[in-house]
Amino acid sequence: MKIDAALFAKAVRSHWHIENRLHWVLDVVFHEDLSRLKSRTGPQNMATVRHMAMNLIRGAKDKHSLKVRRKSAAWDTNYLEAIIRQAA
């Protein structure tokens, strides 16, 4: 099956959009590649927790980076509560 250049370019852009939007953030902000969870359901459970946290952090209404928001939520329980409540 042959595809034209426009369709191929769209497929490549779509792949890199996912890579930049999800996988890069999980690796850089949450250090997912450094995780040592290897047995049973641990990796899948933590992936679910990281995705939920990332979605909550992305929804924060401030100008800080995702990395700063994650650290702020870890250090400041009021900020953490605000992030969690904004999703409700």
Looking at residue 33, what DSSP letter applies?
Answer: G
Domain boundaries defined on the chain: 5-86
Predicted pLDDT at 10? 85
Residues in the chain: 88
Q: Please tell me the pTM assigned to this model.
A: 0.66
pLDDT at 75: 96
| pLDDT tens digits, 29-87 | 888 877 888 888 888 898 898 889 988 998 888 899 888 999 999 999 999 999 999 86
Q: What's the mean per-residue pLDDT of the chain? A: 85
Cα separation of 85 and 6, whole Å?
Answer: 43
Indicate the SS3 state at residue 79. Answer: helix
More confident residue, 81 or 21: 81
Tokens read off for 58: 């992305």
